[in-house]
Amino acid sequence: MPVRRHKTNFAHGDNVVALQPHRHRTHSREVGTGAGKLSATQREWLARGLSQPGGKLPLFDRDGQKISDRTIKSCIRKGWAEPWFENPIKPDWLVCKLTDSGRRVIKNSG
C-alpha cells in the first residue's frame, strides 16, 4: 500500500516566533523601603516575627511549607533578619530572628 503524503502549504512567515520584551518577574506586590523593596512574601514572613519571643522567625509558612531559602537570604542581606543559632538537627535550616531594621520596615510597610 503506497504511503500517502499530505501536501502542506505554508505561507511565507508561518513559523515566525514573536518575542516579548524582557520583563522582570515579580510574583507578588512589592513595597518600597529604604533598604530595597519588600515583597508580600517577605512582609508576611517578617511580620510573623513581631509576635514571637525574641523576634524568632518561622521555618514554615501557614500552610506547613518550608520558607524559601531565597526569601530568608534576601532578608538577611537587606538587614531585616539575622541568623540566630545553628540548628544541630537540621544544619541546613536557617533559624533567624527579626532585626530592629526589620521591625521598622514592617511597621512602615502598612
Higher per-residue confidence, 90 vs 16: 90
At 85 the pLDDT is 85
- CATH fold for the domain made of 30-108: Arc Repressor Mutant, subunit A (1.10.10)
At 86 the pLDDT is 81
φ/ψ (deg, to 5) at 100: -60, -40
> Around Cβ 53, how many Cβ atoms within 10 Å?
7
Check pLDDT > 90 for residue 88: no
Residue 34 CA to residue 23 CA, distance in Å, equals 23
- Percent of the chain topping pLDDT 70: 66
Check pLDDT > 80 for residue 27: no
- What mean pLDDT comes out for the span 49-63? 94
At 15 the pLDDT is 58
CB neighbours of 49 closer than 8 A, spacing ≥ 6?
A: 55, 56, 57, 58, 81, 97, 98, 102
